[in-house]
Structure 1
Amino acid sequence: MAMLEMLINAQESERLRLSRQMHDGPAQALSNFIVQAEIASRFFEMDPEKAKEELTNLKTSAMATFQRVRLFITELRPMMLDDLGLVPTLQRHVETFKDQQPNFEVALAVKGGEKRLPTYVEVMIFRAVQELLTNVARFNLDNPAKVQVNIQLNIEDNLVRLAVTDTGKGFDPAQMPEGTDISVKLIRERVEMLGGYLEVDSSIGKGSRITFQIPLDTSASDMQA
């Protein structure tokens, strides 16, 4: 019952976060577009150059909002994951993360990435990386030093291993920071549901390392389950 409550609370927290982002981002931007369009229409006959300037500003704002909406869509479910698979999607996410978090240097190393995994496994691994990177960023925002994050993904015939290591502030595994504790518990639950296990290795001032492995059902024929 406690796990079910934790899952529901985590889902509701994520929905609340996304709704706030949509309200403060695209929704507010659309409201601004209407104002900019009205201003441009008023200047259209009186001052064509001013109208042109307003339309240029409107186009710039619309393009920026379009990129933000694409990021929201990726957070919900990246289409690349279905079209191209796990590795290209992780590569894109890492590049996006580095663009948004310049104080973090992220390296992704993959072995066996040419093999497609069952969809539910790819989704689970992508979400785990997504959440772990978010945790590293949240916990080290005030860290004056550049934080190095290494993501290692090994895909073998019968199992998948993932390790996310960072040089951040670190923490006591028995008392994980707020937010990180829930994320790690949820990831652990998903991993264990797939027959795997997760380990946390961290200490204050020495960064952290979170690893897990998942067995693969080599007899499974439906790769899109």
Structure 2
Amino acid sequence: MHLRFAIVGGIVSLFSMILIGAFVNQRIESAVVRNSAISAAVYMESLIAPLSQDLADGNELSREQRANLEEILARPAVRERILSVKIWKDGGLVAYASDPDLIGQKFEPKGDLQQAWQGDIFAGFDELDHDESEGERALGVPLLEVYNPIHSIRTGEIIAVAEFYQDASELKDDLRFARLTAWAIVAALAGATFLALFGIVRAGSRTIETQRSELEQRLNLITLVGLQNDLLRLRIQNASERFSALNEQLLQRIGAELHDGPAQALSFANMRISAWRNANGPEEADLILKALNDALGDIRGLARGLVLPKLEGASIAETIRRAAEAHTERTQTEVLLDGGDKNDGNMRPGLPQLICLFRFVQEGLTNAWRHAGGIGQSIEFGIQDGMLVVTVSDQGSGFDPNATADTGRIGLAGLRERVQSVGGAFEIDSDPGQGTRLTMRLPIHERAV
């Protein structure tokens, strides 16, 4: 940043220095020339005005007045300062001149002469390019031209204009020195200002660079922490998926143990009591036999619910259909399936996602059967924005999800935990008298048609 400022600031400072220096020099030259002209005009008017009063009534000086004027101009003190004199009448007539050949001639009035007739003193370095300036050109020195109005002593009116040329060699040297001094001062001030601003900008640039470096380090640290958090989240999700798989294995083992252990024992007891009853046993055997049959049915139902069918490698549609068919077989109720796009149903996610999908449908249909009597049971599924969206709904009496949030029921709470453990989202949409909709949104990482 400070390098760009050095380039741009240097250019701006250079142009500013040139403009300011030119302005200051112009003002210095104007002031010096005007002051010199005023002092020379006052001096010359004190000498010429008393001898020029004849011009109030005529266009030329008397011989006596002309002789007196030439005598004054010939004095060494005047001759050193004033090199040439002309006295103009209105209309460009030369009433008197240091060069006698110009007396009585008429020239086109210049703007400077006309300005003097308005009462102003005018001074400047003349280029001596007019016809009446031939004698001054021959002098070969820089001249300061001054026009000074001559006033009538009686009326105060302007009766003539005196034009005189002053040797400006010394004045030129003074102006040259003043210009150099002004340029040096302007350059020094511009340089000092530029250096001061450059120092401020450089310090600010270093501060900005330091802060930017610190921000980059913090951003890198935040990015690293974010990556670590993502890694930890993936590890937690993988651990949850492994735990879910292990939990299913445990449930299958418990189901197998129930089927092979207590269920077999109860089945054997049932057969012996049946044989005893058939052999004219007591009537209490009927009650015992009924209790055994009920317990055996419950255990077998529990075992079937704990044991999952083989899901690995299955598609989304197959998994949902198996859960729905198992529910229909168990409850003898109808379940409507709406799979949307066929390609969505053919996708084959990983085993943890399939287990979660099966349990979600299984638990959702079980809730619909228990609390809605299996009325209007339906399953909708499809892929939306890379997410598997599955909805299990019924047309039962519905309920208020907020009112039942703290009742201690573990079915929906456990289902929510299961879905969230594999990175999914779980929603309940229900109102009294409006039925219930359970929706699961599950990220799908693997696709295979």
Q: Normalising TM by the smaller chain, what interval?
A: 0.5 to 0.7
Query: What does 1:82-97 align with in structure 2 at a 5 Å threshold?
Result: 82=312, 84-97=314-327
Trace 1:81-120 onto structure 2 (pairs within 5 A).
81-82=311-312, 84-102=314-332, 104-110=333-339, 111=341, 112-120=344-352
State the partner residue of 1:54: none
* Aligned: 1:165 with 2:397: no
C-alpha distance 25-198 of structure 1, shift in aligned 2 (>3 A): same
Which residue of the partner structure matches residue 6 of structure 1? none
Supply the AA of the counterpart residue of 2:308: R
TM-score (norm 2): 0.33
- Specify the SS of the correspondent of 1:147: coil
User: Deviation string for 1:6-57 (max 9, x for gaps)?
Assistant: xxxxx9xx99x979x85885542232245668999x9xxxxxxxxxxxxxxx
Q: Which amino acid aligns with 2:346?
A: E
Letter in 2 for 1:97: H
Report the equivalent of 1:60. none
Contact 1:171 1:203 in 2 (8 A): yes
Q: Distance in 1 between matches of 2:335 and 2:274?
A: 39
With over 3 angstroms needed to count, the CA separation of the structure-2 counterparts of 1:197 and 1:116, relative to structure 1, is: same
Count, aligned residues = 176
In 1: Cα distance, 2:275 partner to 2:428 partner? 53
Matching residue of 2:360: 128
Structural mapping, 1:196-215, within 5 Å:
196-215=424-443
- Higher relative contact order by CA 8 Å / sep ≥ 6: 1 or 2? 1
Q: Which runs of 5+ in 1 are unaligned?
A: 1-10, 43-64
Aligned equivalents of 2:369 and 2:274: distance in 1?
35
The SS at the match of 2:410 is helix
Residue number among 418, 421, 425 corresponding to 1:190 in the alignment: 418
Match of 1:205, SS state, is coil
Q: Is the 8 A contact 1:162 1:211 kept in 2?
A: yes
Partner deviation per Cα, 1:45-103 (whole Å, 9 max, x = no partner): xxxxxxxxxxxxxxxxxxxx8xx859834632212x1364443243233223223324x
Where do 1:21-170 residues align within 5 Å?
26-33=264-271, 72-73=303-304, 75-79=306-310, 81-82=311-312, 84-102=314-332, 104-110=333-339, 111=341, 112-141=344-373, 147-155=375-383, 158-170=386-398
Using the alignment, how far apart are the partners of 1:181 and 1:160 within structure 2? 26
Q: What SS does the aligned partner of 2:348 have? A: coil
| 1:115 Cα deviation from its structure 2 partner | 1.2
User: 1:31–1:162: structure 2 CA closer, same or farther, 3 Å change rule?
Assistant: same
Tell whether the 8 Å contact from 1:86 to 1:126 is kept in structure 2 after alignment.
Answer: no
Q: Is the 8 A contact 1:131 1:183 kept in 2?
A: yes
**SS of aligned partner of 2:381:** strand
Contact 1:157 1:216 in 2 (8 A): no
Aligned-partner SS, 2:428: strand
| 2:315–2:347 CA contact under 8 A, matched in 1 | no
2:381–2:388 CA contact under 8 A, matched in 1: yes
Q: Equivalents in 1 of 2:408, 2:363: separation in Å?
A: 9
TM-score, normalised relative to structure 1: 0.61
* Preserved contact between residue 160 and residue 215 of structure 1 (Cα < 8 Å): yes
